[in-house]
Amino acid sequence: MRAVVTRVSSASVSVDGTVVGSLASPGLLVLLGVGHDDGPDQVAWMARKIWGLRILEDEQSASDIDAPILVVSQFTLYGDARKGRRPTWTAAAPGPVSEPVYLAVCAELERLGAHVERGVFGAHMDVASVNDGPITLILETP
């Protein structure tokens, strides 16, 4: 599993012009990609890591200050553009595999205490964010 985690002042995701998830206060925007072998261990690791990352103001984590988290599915994080000009997506898990894993990460974050907003899995989404810092990290499960 891969995630791009950005500290944001605000963020939103829209589908067909309708906002489906948003952060009105500072928090984290997470773009989440799922690989073929991701399962419960990777879900637990990723949720704990995101919830505990000390990248918010004054080196606090989302768990320290109850900061909200917007999680958006992003299979393109597994794109491979090393050859040619057209990326391949073969390392990304297909929708029937990745959607339950994406939802499980969101559910695990909520179980840990996070307020989680979501995009719409598989939809064409417009993601807007005001990056704070900017601070952006790439996470990959072991």
Q: CA-based Rg of the chain, rounded to a whole angstrom? A: 15
Residue 76 annotated as catalytic: yes
Q: Which of 6, 18, 60, 76 is catalytic?
A: 76
Residue 75 annotated as catalytic: yes
Distance between CA atoms of residues 30 and 14, nearest Å: 15
What's the CA angle centered on 118, arms 96 and 31, to 5 degrees? 75
Residue 121 annotated as catalytic: no
Question: Which residues, including other chains, have CB under 8 Å from residue 21's CB and lie 6 or more apart?
Answer: 12, 13, 70, 72, 117, 118, 119
Q: Which of 74, 88, 90, 121 is catalytic?
A: 74
Q: How many residues does the chain have?
A: 142
Q: Which of 137, 109, 142 is nearest to 31 (CA)?
A: 137
Q: Which of 6, 42, 75, 141 is catalytic?
A: 75
Counting DSSP H helices and E strands in the chain, the numbers are 3, 6
Active site residues: 74-76
